[in-house]
């Protein structure tokens, strides 16, 4: 029933879950982004490992070889990697702005500040003015 | 190979925000891609994962600081349970999947044989990845290029580029003479190599995405070893912004060109005398557009992050 | 003829592997950063050279050979420079080598070498 | 056969370097391990190309040789500019 032929999926699932776990538990926003990256790469690996054919070689035509791996997943992942770095940089830019607005990149501290800003408006007037002033800069 | 990565990830959970390990992780990943025959993907992962993303991560960490305060450890167990259950369900789901390297898997049945068997004749270039990327799935690639461009616009509108007015004193002896001499030696070769990858992508692994990243890496090396002022004088961000947009325009313009020639959008067969020549020309132009956009985007991202870090200190 | 080439490339590859392994053991076992760097950077260059030699002997004369030669040249240029930059950064940010000599003799030495 | 042996040896070396990257007490140990790892990756790809009898893929190895250098330089620059607290002085 359980065959070892499926191990590539298990590795992918393990990576995916590790990334997911980092994403949930970690407190630091940059670490969350790294977790997201790991999640992303697990998807890359899923595609690439599905494209592999036993006995095939890289999909660049040469004389006398007829068994190639599937080029389609390669194309999808190739573009996905470049898009992935672009989106990662967007996330990092957001982190920088958060750091400038809140002075922190710890998730719980940011949530705390939000709480104060939302519920304690009367007594924390200056605090909110601070953060909104910083974010509109 | 796969086991190495999993170990790396298990340990990565324990070590906090160590970008070094994510660099190693991406090197490993690229190794795995090579062993799984995905040379083009390994190429991209090599240049993007180990080079650019490490640099950007470090720039951000430099701005936000290294310190990590651990959250109070009450909520460790629940996520672990959630993750384990999700993983178990996914593992159960794989029981019906085709076995690894099975040539009869559904993924290899529908369009893939057409790409493999027909593309060397139809497009006339041996690298199937390039032909699929630029010709058969040209719409997808155009979308990806636009996404990259949109991300660039997002980053620029979020943090922007602050041009430095600090002119380095050229009369002083340089701080790192050996590195600067090395960089002077290396940069021409890197740029030459980027051009080789750009225009040799039809025959070997390579193409616009990889070449763009490699080209921008040369400029990043220059900026790192000399100064930010020098880097920005060499590649002024204003011009880079225009070039990034024009890369996308080249791509879209090729589509319009094919329409004007009487074909459909991004059908290059009408561009040349024969359909193979047309495809060849179209792919070259498209790859050039992609390379231009990617290279300028990566440079602008780098400048944006680095100048942000400098202006704060 | 073929046998000789095979044998030579076997020898080259094995020497390369042995050097690489010794470097790896060095980087793992040594107690201090500078000795680790010493172990790693010195073995790396020769290891690259021998393995590339073994591969060149196998590939014959073709484009692959040229690429291999390029690879060796690049690694030889970049490897020592990277090690140099690494040592420099480590030294300047305050990671001092632990020498077997006494404190009095180490500190002027450290100053004179910068 | 000989390529298989070499590949295996390189894999072992990579594993040891990885261990140093995990353990490495200071930042520089990790950078050193990454550098070594990169060099060995270059060799691995070169040898693997011969192992699978498609040695045309040395381009990737070349890219690694370049990128690895630049990565190390970038890391060092950032470490110099923003020295990590309390990570540099223990060995």
CATH of the domain at B10: 1.20.120.1200
User: Which of the two residues, C94 and B15, has the higher pLDDT score?
Assistant: C94
From chain B, the residues in CB contact with A40 under 8 A are none
Same-domain status, B197 and B62: no
Residue B179 to chain C, least CA–CA distance (Å): 7
Domain boundary among the residues B77, B97, B117 is at B97
Same-domain status, B84 and B168: no
In a domain? residue B114? no
In a domain? residue A29? yes
Residue D55: band (very low, low, confident or very high) from pLDDT cuts 50, 70, 90: low
In a domain? residue A135? no
The residue in chain B having the minimum alpha-carbon distance to the alpha carbon of residue D62 is B193
Would the pLDDT of B24 be above 70?
yes
Residue C2: band (very low, low, confident or very high) from pLDDT cuts 50, 70, 90: confident
List the Cα angle C75/C98/D88 in 5-degree steps. Answer: 70
User: Would you say the ipTM is above 0.90?
Assistant: no
Same-domain status, B201 and B153: yes
In a domain? residue A127? no
From chain B, the residues in CB contact with D59 under 8 A are 43, 197, 204-206
Of B1, B43, B186, the CB nearest to D63: B43
Would the pLDDT of A1 be above 50?
no
Same-domain status, B176 and B38: no
In a domain? residue B137? yes
Q: Structurally, how many domains does chain B consist of?
A: 2
What's the pLDDT score for residue A137? 38
Question: Rounded to an integer, what distance in angstroms lies between the CA atom of residue B5 and that of residue A7?
Answer: 14
Give yes or no for D37 touching B (CB within 8 A). yes
CB contact under 8 A, D37 and B24: yes
Can chain A be said to touch chain C, i.e. do they have 3 or more Cβ pairs within 8 angstroms? no
Same-domain status, B87 and B136: no
CB contact under 8 A, D60 and B39: yes
Give pLDDT tens digits for B215-261.
Answer: 888 888 888 888 777 778 888 888 888 888 888 888 888 888 888 87
Same-domain status, B149 and B297: yes
The residue in chain D having the minimum alpha-carbon distance to the alpha carbon of residue B180 is D73
Residue A63: band (very low, low, confident or very high) from pLDDT cuts 50, 70, 90: low
Same-domain status, B73 and B133: no
Would the pLDDT of D87 be above 50?
no
Percent of chain C with pLDDT over 90: 0
From chain B, the residues in CB contact with A87 under 8 A are 147, 151
Say whether pTM exceeds 0.90.
Answer: no
- Nearest Cα neighbor of C56 from B203, D14, D59, D55 is D55
User: With 0-12 CB in 10 A as exposed, 13-18 as middle and 19+ as buried, what is A63?
Assistant: exposed
What's the pLDDT score for residue C98? 65
R_g of chain D computed on alpha carbons = 16
In a domain? residue A137? no
C59, C68 contact by CB (below 8 A): yes
What's the pLDDT score for residue B3? 59
Q: Structurally, how many domains does chain A consist of?
A: 1
D32, C37 contact by CB (below 8 A): yes
Give pLDDT tens digits for B265-309.
Answer: 777 777 777 777 777 788 888 888 888 888 888 888 888 888 876
In a domain? residue B218? yes
Stretch B186-190: mean pLDDT, rounded?
86
Residue A17's domain comprises: 4-53+68-105
Same-domain status, B133 and B71: no
Give yes or no for D74 touching B (CB within 8 A). yes
From chain D, the residues in CB contact with A58 under 8 A are 54, 57
From chain C, the residues in CB contact with D21 under 8 A are none
Same-domain status, B84 and B136: no
Would the pLDDT of C33 be above 70?
yes
Same-domain status, B161 and B91: no
- Nearest Cα neighbor of B154 from A135, A89, A33 is A89
In a domain? residue B115? no
In a domain? residue B134? yes
Average pLDDT of chain A?
74
Give yes or no for B179 touching C (CB within 8 A). yes
B128, B119 contact by CB (below 8 A): yes
User: Which of the two residues, A126 and B90, has the higher pLDDT score?
Assistant: B90
Would the pLDDT of D24 be above 70?
no
Domain boundary among the residues B80, B97, B114 is at B97
In a domain? residue A44? yes
Read off the tokens for A38: 């790991």
In a domain? residue B107? no
Give pLDDT tens digits for B28-82.
Answer: 888 888 877 777 888 888 778 777 888 888 777 777 766 655 555 556 677 778 8
Residue D62 to chain C, least CA–CA distance (Å): 6
What's the pLDDT score for residue A61? 66
From chain D, the residues in CB contact with C36 under 8 A are 20, 29, 32
CATH number assigned to the domain comprising residue A81: 1.10.287.3510
Question: Rounded to an integer, what distance in angstroms lies between the CA atom of residue C82 and that of residue D81?
Answer: 17
What's the pLDDT score for residue B7? 60
In a domain? residue A131? no
From chain A, the residues in CB contact with B120 under 8 A are 61
Question: Rounded to an integer, what distance in angstroms lies between the CA atom of residue A117 and that of residue A127?
Answer: 7
Residue B58's domain comprises: 1-97
CB contact under 8 A, B178 and C78: no
Domain boundary among the residues B97, B115, B136 is at B97
Give yes or no for D13 touching B (CB within 8 A). no
The residue in chain D having the minimum alpha-carbon distance to the alpha carbon of residue B194 is D63
In a domain? residue A98? yes
Give pLDDT tens digits for A16-43.
Answer: 887 887 777 777 777 788 888 888 888 8
Percent of chain D with pLDDT over 90: 0
CB contact under 8 A, A57 and D54: yes
A15, A27 contact by CB (below 8 A): no
Residue B173: band (very low, low, confident or very high) from pLDDT cuts 50, 70, 90: low
CB contact under 8 A, A9 and B94: yes
Same-domain status, B88 and B164: no
Average pLDDT of chain D?
77
Residue B9: band (very low, low, confident or very high) from pLDDT cuts 50, 70, 90: low
In a domain? residue A31? yes
Same-domain status, B226 and B288: yes
In a domain? residue B117? no
Would the pLDDT of C97 be above 80?
no
């Amino acid at each position: 029933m359980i065959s070892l032929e499926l191990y590539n999926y298990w590795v992918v699932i393990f990576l995916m879950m590790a990334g997911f776990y980092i994403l949930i538990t970690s407190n630091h926003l940059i670490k969350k982004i790294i977790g997201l990256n790991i999640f992303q790469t697990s998807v890359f690996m899923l595609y690439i490992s599905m494209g592999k054919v036993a006995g095939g070689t890289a999909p660049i035509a040469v004389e006398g070889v007829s068994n190639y791996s599937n080029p389609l997943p390669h194309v999808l992942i190739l573009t996905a990697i470049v898009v992935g770095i672009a989106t990662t940089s967007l996330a990092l830019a957001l982190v920088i702005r958060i750091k400038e607005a809140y002075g922190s990149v710890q998730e719980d501290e940011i949530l705390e500040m939000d709480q104060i800003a939302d519920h304690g408006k009367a007594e924390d007037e200056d605090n909110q003015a601070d953060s909104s002033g910083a974010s509109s800069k | 190979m796969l086991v190495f990565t999993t170990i790396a990830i298990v340990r990565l959970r324990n070590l906090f925000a160590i970008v070094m390990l994510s660099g190693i992780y991406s090197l490993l990943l690229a190794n795995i891609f090579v062993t799984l025959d995905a040379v083009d993907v390994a190429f991209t992962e090599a240049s993007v994962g180990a080079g650019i993303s490490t640099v950007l991560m470090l720039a951000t960490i430099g701005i936000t600081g290294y310190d990590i305060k651990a959250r109070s450890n009450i909520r460790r167990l629940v996520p672990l349970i959630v993750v384990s259950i999700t993983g178990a369900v996914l593992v159960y789901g794989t029981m019906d999947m085709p076995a690894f390297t099975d040539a009869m898997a559904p993924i290899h049945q529908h369009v893939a044989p057409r790409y493999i068997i027909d593309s060397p004749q139809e497009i006339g270039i041996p690298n199937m990845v390039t032909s699929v990327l630029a010709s058969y799935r040209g719409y997808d690639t155009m979308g990806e290029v636009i996404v990259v461009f949109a991300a660039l616009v997002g980053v620029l509108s979020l943090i922007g580029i602050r041009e430095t007015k600090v002119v380095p004193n050229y009369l002083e002896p340089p701080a790192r003479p050996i590195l600067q001499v090395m960089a002077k030696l290396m940069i021409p070769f890197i740029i030459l190599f980027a051009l080789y990858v750009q225009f040799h992508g039809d025959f070997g692994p390579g193409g616009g995405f990889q070449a763009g990243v490699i080209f921008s890496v040369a400029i990043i090396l220059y900026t790192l070893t000399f100064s930010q002022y020098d880097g920005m004088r060499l590649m002024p961000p204003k011009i880079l912004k225009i070039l990034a947009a024009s890369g996308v325009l080249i791509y879209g313009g090729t589509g319009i060109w094919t329409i004007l020639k009487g074909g459909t959008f991004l059908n290059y067969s009408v561009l040349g005398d024969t359909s193979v020549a047309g495809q060849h020309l179209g792919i070259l132009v498209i790859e050039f557009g992609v390379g231009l956009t990617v290279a300028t985007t990566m440079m602008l991202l780098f400048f944006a992050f680095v100048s942000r870090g400098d202006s704060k200190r | 003829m073929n046998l000789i080439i095979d044998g030579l490339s076997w020898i080259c590859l094995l020497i390369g592997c042995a050097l690489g392994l010794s470097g790896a053991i060095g980087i793992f076992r040594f107690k201090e950063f500078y000795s680790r760097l010493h172990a790693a950077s010195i073995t790396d260059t020769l290891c690259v050279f021998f393995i590339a030699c073994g591969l060149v002997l196998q590939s014959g004369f073709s484009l692959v050979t040229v690429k291999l030669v390029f690879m060796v040249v690049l690694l030889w240029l970049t490897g020592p420079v990277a090690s140099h930059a690494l040592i420099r950064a480590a030294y300047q940010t305050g990671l001092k080598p632990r020498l077997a000599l006494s404190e009095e003799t180490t500190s002027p030495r450290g100053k004179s070498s910068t | 056969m000989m390529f298989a042996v070499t590949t295996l040896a390189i894999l072992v070396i990579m594993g040891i370097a990885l261990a140093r990257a995990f353990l490495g007490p200071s930042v520089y140990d990790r950078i050193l391990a990454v550098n070594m790892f990169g060099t060995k990756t270059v060799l691995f790809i070169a040898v693997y190309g011969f192992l699978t009898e498609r040695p045309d893929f040395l381009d990737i190895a070349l890219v690694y040789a370049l990128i690895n250098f630049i990565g190390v330089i970038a890391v060092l620059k950032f470490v110099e500019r923003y020295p990590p607290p309390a990570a540099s002085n223990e060995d």
